[in-house]
Chain A
Amino acid sequence: MQSLSLNRSLREYRRLASDWTLLVGLVVVVVFLAVAIVWPLLKILGVGFSADALALYRKYFSSPVYLRIMWNTVELGLVVGAVGTLLGFLFAYVQVRLDVPLKKFMNLMALLPIISPPFAVATAAIVLFGRGGLITYQLFGIRNNLYGFRGLVLVLSLSLFTVAYLNLKGMMEALDPALDEAATNLGANRWAVFRTVTLPMLIPGIAGSFLLLFVEAIADLANPLVLGGDFTVLASRVYIAISGEYDTLAGAVLSLILLVPSLTVYLVQRYWVSRKSFISVTGKPSGRYQSIRNPLVRWGLFAVVMLISLLILMLYGTVVVGAFTKLFGINFEFTLANFEFVIMGLGSQAMGDTSAMSAISTPIAGLLGMVIAWLVVRKSFAGRAVLDFVAMLGIAVPGTVLGIGYLLAFNAPLKIGNNVLLPALAGGTALAGGWIAIILAYVVRSVPAGLRAGVASLQQIDPAIEEASVSLGADSSVTFRKITLPLIRPAFFTGLVYSFARAMTSLSAVIFLATPEAKIMTAQILNEVDAGRFGNAFAYCVILIGLVLAVIGLLYVVVGTSNGVERDLGRAR
Chain B
Amino acid sequence: MSEQTETGALRLENVTKIFGQGSNQVRAVDDVSLTIQSGEFVTLLGPSGCGKTTTLRLIAGFEFPTSGRLLLDEKDIANVPPNLRPMAMVFQSYALFPHLNVFENVAYGLRLRKMSEAEIKEAVNIVLHMMNLVGLERRNPNQLSGGQQQRVALARAMVMKPKLLLFDEPLSNLDAKLRTQMRIEIRRLQQRMGITSVYVTHDQMEAMSLSDRVVVMNHGKIEQVGTPEEIYQRPATMFVADFIGRANFVETDVLALDGRLAIVDVYGQKVELACSPEIRVGQKAYAMIRPEAINLSSRTSDYMADVKTAVYLGNSVEYEVEIEQNLLKVVDYDPTPGVMFREGSFVSMTFDPERSYLLPK
Contacts and interface: CB of A to CB of B under 8 A. Distances in A.
Interface string A448-485: 00000000000000101101111111110010001100
B98 interface: yes
Contacts of A185: none
A475 B80 CA distance: 12
A468 B89 contact: yes
B81 A468 contact: no
B83 A473 contact: yes
Size class of the contact patch on chain A: 20 to 34
A473 B160 contact: yes
13 contacts: A15-B64, A18-B79, A19-B81, A464-B92, A464-B95, A467-B91, A468-B91, A471-B82, A471-B166, A472-B83, A473-B83, A475-B81, A475-B83
Contacts of A8: 21, 66
Interface stretch (B108-116, B221-229, B330-338): B108-116
A15 B62 CA distance: 11
Contacts, number: 74
Interface string B69-107: 000000000010111100111011101111100000000
Contact of B93 (A464, A471, A478, A487): A464
A45 B103 CA distance: 57
Given A5-B21, A464-B91, A464-B92, A471 B60 contact: yes
Interface in A7-53: 8, 11, 15, 18-19
Given A472-B88, A472-B156, A467 B95 contact: yes
Nearest to A471: B89
A1 B22 contact: yes
Nearest to A468: B95
A500 B194 CA distance: 56
Contacts of B91: 464, 467-468
Among all A-B residue pairs, the 3 with the closest Cβ atoms: A472-B109, A464-B95, A468-B95
A487 B83 contact: no
Contacts of A11: 64
Contacts of B166: 471
A468 B97 contact: yes
A464 B90 CA distance: 10
Most buried by B among A462, A472, A473, A483: A472
A486 interface: yes
A554 to B, nearest CB: 22
B302 to A, nearest CB: 57
A480 to B, nearest CB: 12
Contact of A487 (B87, B99, B157, B160): B99
B306 to A, nearest CB: 46
A465 B112 contact: no
Contact of A473 (B93, B109, B153): B109
Contacts of B83: 470-475
B97 to A, nearest CB: 6
Interface of B: 21-22, 60, 62, 64, 66, 79, 81-84, 87-89, 91-93, 95-99, 108-109, 112-113, 153, 156-157, 160, 166
Contacts of B66: 8
Contacts of A472: 83, 88, 108-109, 112, 156-157, 160
Given A462-B93, A467-B91, A474 B112 contact: yes
Contacts of A465: 95-98
A15 to B, nearest CB: 7
Interface of A: 1, 5, 8, 11, 15, 18-19, 462, 464-465, 467-475, 478, 482-483, 486-487
A470 B95 contact: no
A563 to B, nearest CB: 13
A487 B95 contact: no
A568 B61 CA distance: 33
B228 to A, nearest CB: 28
Most buried by A among B21, B83, B98: B83
Nearest to A472: B109
A472 B89 CA distance: 8
B168 to A, nearest CB: 8
Contacts of B60: 467, 471
Contacts of A470: 62, 82-83
A561 to B, nearest CB: 11
Nearest to B108: A472
A373 B92 CA distance: 25
A332 B201 CA distance: 78
Given A19-B81, A472-B83, A473-B160, 19 more contacts: A1-B21, A5-B21, A15-B81, A462-B93, A467-B60, A467-B89, A467-B91, A468-B91, A468-B156, A469-B97, A469-B108, A470-B82, A471-B82, A471-B157, A472-B160, A473-B83, A473-B84, A474-B112, A478-B112
A487 B22 contact: no
Contacts of A475: 81, 83
B100 to A, nearest CB: 9
Contacts of B87: 471
B72 to A, nearest CB: 14
B166 to A, nearest CB: 8
A5 B66 CA distance: 11
Contacts of B64: 11, 15
Contact of B62 (A1, A467, A473, A486): A467
Contact of B81 (A18, A464, A467): A18
A474 B160 CA distance: 12
Nearest to A467: B62
Contacts of A467: 60, 62, 82, 89, 91, 95
Contacts of A486: 99
Contacts of B97: 465, 468-469, 483
A15 B92 CA distance: 26
A14 to B, nearest CB: 9
Most buried by B among A470, A473, A486: A473
B52 to A, nearest CB: 16
A253 B89 CA distance: 58
A472 B88 CA distance: 6
Contacts of A471: 60, 82-83, 87-89, 157, 166
Contacts of A5: 21-22
Contacts of A478: 112
A468 B91 CA distance: 8
A19 B84 CA distance: 11
Contacts of A469: 97, 108
Nearest to A12: B64
B113 to A, nearest CB: 7
A488 to B, nearest CB: 11
A473 B89 contact: no
A468 B83 CA distance: 9
A18 B157 CA distance: 25
Contacts of B160: 472-473
Nearest to B63: A380
B69 to A, nearest CB: 15
A362 B168 CA distance: 41
B95 A473 contact: no
Nearest to A462: B93
Contacts of A19: 81
Contacts of B99: 486-487
A465 B62 CA distance: 13
B79 to A, nearest CB: 7
Most buried by B among A15, A467, A482: A467
Contacts of B93: 462, 464
Contacts of B79: 18
A464 B89 CA distance: 10
Contacts of B153: 468
A189 to B, nearest CB: 43
B98 to A, nearest CB: 7
Nearest to B85: A471
Nearest to B80: A18
Contacts of B112: 472-474, 478
B114 to A, nearest CB: 11
Contacts of B22: 1, 5
Nearest to A14: B79
